[in-house]
Amino acid sequence: MTTLARHTLDSAVGEIEVHRGGSAGPAPLVYLHSAQGEGPGMALLEQLADTRQVVAPLFPGFGSSEGLQHIDDIEDAAFHVLDVLDRLDLPWCDMVGLSLGGWMAAELAVRWPERVRRMVLVNPVGLYLRDAPITEIFGRAPSELAGELFADHDNPIAQLMRAMDGMEADPSQIPFELVRPILQSQAATAKVGWNPYLHDPKLLSRLGRVTAPTLIVHARKDGIVPRAHAEAYASAIPDAKLVDLDAAAHLAPLERPDEVAKLVLEHLGD
């Protein structure tokens, strides 16, 4: 598999961490991460980079990316992603987004549809459905979230999340370097998704502006986003397709990188 190299990029809000590598393809593939800040060393991206040029920027507040103080809402986030594309000299691209990243990808695609050639949204948040609320993620113990994020309870990240509960009884056992990225990612996610909670009230009515052929991937064991959200995205985006992924939960690309890579590459095509 192809390893992505770490770079830095000067953006309008500050220095951004970007991971990039791979082979040329019909269009660069931009990956927008979830509230977990996944990206560096991610098996899915390394697989995709075997045949595609992959670009994975980290949003302000994640990794070493700066500028969170300049982000107040999802519109700021969309303009930030646009700025990153401009500074990377990517006039158009294929876009893959997981959860929070899927929401940002959709917000970009409704505002500047000409910038997105094809799009894959994996367990995207971003919509409000009264009868199918998104599970609360803020202020909960890591062990509670582990089973909603991962179908495989033996996943190393899920095991770490459960182990952190035991450490909380004695905070001195928790290395600060372990806690710091978690606190940073929560703060960054809250900036765009605290109120209203993980959705844009106007997004659903705007999804008809998306021109990119779009694939919605829903993990059957997702404990965060109900399937109704995938159905709503698929119904509102013209000609969008919806597929279900077995034996995976919210962070499906971390659990099933081979299957997600296959779905992504089949959808993006040549």
Q: In terms of residues, how long is the chain?
A: 270
Mean pLDDT check: name the lowest of 12-26, 177-191, 217-231. 177-191
CA distances from 78 to 40, 49, 137 (A): 22, 25, 22
Question: What pTM does this model have?
Answer: 0.93
Count structural domains, the chain: 1
Pair 68, 61: CB distance under 8 Å: yes
CA distances from 232 to 90, 235, 240, 249 (A): 29, 5, 10, 19
Residue 54 pairs in a beta bridge with: 21, 29
203 phi and psi angles, rounded to 5 deg: -65, -45
Q: Give the span between the Cα atoms of 214 and 106, in whole angstroms.
A: 10
What is the predicted pLDDT for the residue at 207? 98
Q: What is the DSSP string of 31-66?
A: EE--TT---TT-HHHHHHTTTSEEEEEPPTTSTT--
What is the predicted pLDDT for the residue at 250? 97
Degrees, nearest 5: CA angle 215-212-203: 80
CATH number at residue 254: 3.40.50.1820
Q: What is the mean pLDDT of residues 40-55?
A: 94
Q: Give the span between the Cα atoms of 109 and 99, in whole angstroms.
A: 15
Is 71's pLDDT higher than 60? yes
Percent of all residues in the chain with a pLDDT value above 90, rounded to a whole number? 77
Q: Which two tokens stand for residue 142?
A: 């890591």
* Placement of tokens 């994640």 in the chain: 62
Q: What is the DSSP string of 111-129?
A: H-GGGEEEEEEES--B---
Pair 71, 15: CB distance under 8 Å: no
Q: Which two tokens stand for residue 28?
A: 């660069």
Question: Tens digits of per-residue pLDDT, 156-196?
Answer: 777 777 776 655 555 555 554 545 566 778 888 999 999 99
Q: What is the DSSP string of 120-156?
A: EEES--B---TTSPPPP-TT--HHHHHHHH-S-TT-H
Cis peptide before 91 (omega within 30 of 0): no
Question: Tens digits of per-residue pLDDT, 91-149?
Answer: 999 999 999 999 999 999 999 999 999 999 999 999 999 999 999 999 887 778 888 89
Residue 55 belongs to domain spanning: 5-268
Pair 64, 57: CB distance under 8 Å: no
